Structures are given as C-alpha cells and as structure tokens.
Amino acid sequence: MSLSFRTARHEDVPAIVALLVDDPISASRTAVPGLDYDSAFAAIDADPGNELIVVESDGEIVGTMQLTFIPGLSRRGAVRLQVEAVRVASRHRSQGIGRKMMEWAAERARERGCGMIQLTSDKARTDAHRFYASLGYEASHEGFKLLLS
C-alpha cells in the first residue's frame, strides 16, 4: 500500500470529521462548547503551530492526525510535538498505517527541531497503548481533562 501525507485542505473537513466520529470512545464523549467545523478548520489552518495531516491511499483519505508544535522553557527549551486526534479508517486498520503515520510524525518533529513527542490516549484504548509502547513511547504521565460548560 502506497501512502501519501499532506496538510489538510478545507474540502477534506467532512472526510476528517467522518474519521473522528467513527469511533465508539469518541462517540460516547460529553459534548463541550465548540466552533463549527469550518471555523475550527480555519483556526487550525491559520496557526503555524498546528498542522492537520491527512494520509491518502489511491486518492482516498485513510488516516488523519493533528500535529501541534509547542515551544517551551521546560526540558532546557525543548520544542514538543504533540500528536492529537490520530485516526485510521476502520476498514484500513491493522495494515501498518498507524505505524507509518507515527514514523512520519517523528520525522516531521525532527525537521521542526523538536526534542520530544507527546500524546495522550484514552485509558480505554488498550490496543493503542500497546502500539505506542511498541514504538518506544513511555506511559510516564497521567492525562487529566476538565470539561468546561
């Protein structure tokens, strides 16, 4: 399978949202105040610290992830890459796409001078945890969320 990676365009938003919602854990979450999708895409697209990525195979979007580059004074001034909203289309799972995506993200992190990559994963996603551990990620932190009403 040949994969190509690129920054998302506005017309990709429906396909990306379809990937995000095709997930029982995401679907079960409590709604919080948000933008409409077009405004949210525009905010990501205008922000040089964020890259919304789509992965294509034969012209079809089979994966997505959002990369956020966070400068900081911690860890001796390291820039962090944070990876959010990683999804592979359900009918394309277990084909190594997720692994290629994380390898691509690590390469992009190096290009942008990052010292580390971080992500959080819902505690219910035990398969994902084994996957990240297999890539060398250490589950060193507790991930806390507070919904605002």
Sign of CA dihedral 7, 91, 99, 83: positive
Least Å from the CB of residue 55 to a copy of itself: 15
With beta carbons less than 8 A apart as the criterion, state whether 87 and 19 touch.
yes
Question: Could you say which residues in the range 39-68 bind a copy of itself, by CB under 8 A?
Answer: 39-41, 43-44, 47-50, 52, 66, 68
Roughly how many angstroms between the first and final C-alpha of the chain, as a whole number?
A: 43
In 10 A of CB 63, how many CB atoms?
24
Cβ closer to a copy of itself: 3 or 13? Answer: 13
Tokens of 61: 């979007």
Among 60, 71, 96, 103, contact with a copy of itself (rule: CB under 8 A): 71
For a copy of itself, the binding residues (CB under 8 A) are: 13, 16-17, 20, 26, 29, 31-37, 39-41, 43-44, 47-50, 52, 66, 68, 70-79, 82, 84-85, 106, 109-110, 113-123, 129, 132, 135-148
